[in-house]
Amino acid sequence: MRWIDTMAKQDREGNILNNLFSNESFFNSDKSNLLRYLFVLILVGVFLMLIGNFFDSKQRNRSNSSPQQNHKQQSELNSSVEERLESRLEEVLSQVAGVGSVSVNITLETGPKYIYARDDEDSTKKIMENDKSGGARETEQQQKRSQIVVLNQGGTSKAVIKKKVQPQIRGVLVVAEGASNSRIKANLIAAVKVGLGVESYKIKVLAKER
């Protein structure tokens, strides 16, 4: 009897499994297929949204940092130009009779700017149009194209500079040992004015403590 009960129990369990994986079961029915497709589409949609948010965030970070990087690069360029001008001016002014030891500080209003050579091309295209009344009219379509001229040298591309605009100087401070003498002070102001091409009101000359 126990053996018969066991066999009957196994038959019942087998019937349950067969019913579960039969053509009428949840996993193989048309309804379940539709649900699976919808589930897959939802997963794909969520994945695409996550990818899109990632790239949008990355692009925003790049666009936000770009102005800061440009400002930093421009500041470094201005500092380099200021240092070169100061060094050259100190060398020249130190050779003026009676000046002695001299220090120069230059502040720029704007850094150097470059105007690049451009390849401009204008073209005109004539178009014939027929209207509904059988007449014809001619119109012109103008196209303009402009791009920076680039030369390839040694495997690197370099834009052709047409003109360099010199930096604008905000002010010049000169501290010299001989500046206590009015004549030497006037000579220093004149030398800076001619050497840098700045107005006299932008130049300040002070006597250095001996």
The pLDDT of residue 162 is 77
- Per-residue pLDDT tens digits for 97-122: 898 999 999 888 877 777 778 777 77
Contact 162, 88 (CB under 8 A): no
CA distance 98 to 207: 12
CA distance 102 to 82: 16
pTM higher than the cut 0.85: no
* Helical ranges in 137-208 per DSSP H: 182-196
- Per-residue pLDDT tens digits for 16-44: 445 544 444 444 555 566 666 666 677 77
Going from N- to C-terminal start, the domains of the chain cover 2-59, 79-111+166-207, 115-161
For the 79-111+166-207 domain, the top CATH level (class) is alpha beta
Contacts of 195 (CB under 8 A, 6+ apart): 89, 92
- Per-residue pLDDT tens digits for 141-160: 777 777 777 788 777 877 77
- Per-residue pLDDT tens digits for 59-109: 555 444 445 555 556 566 667 778 888 889 999 998 988 989 999 998 888
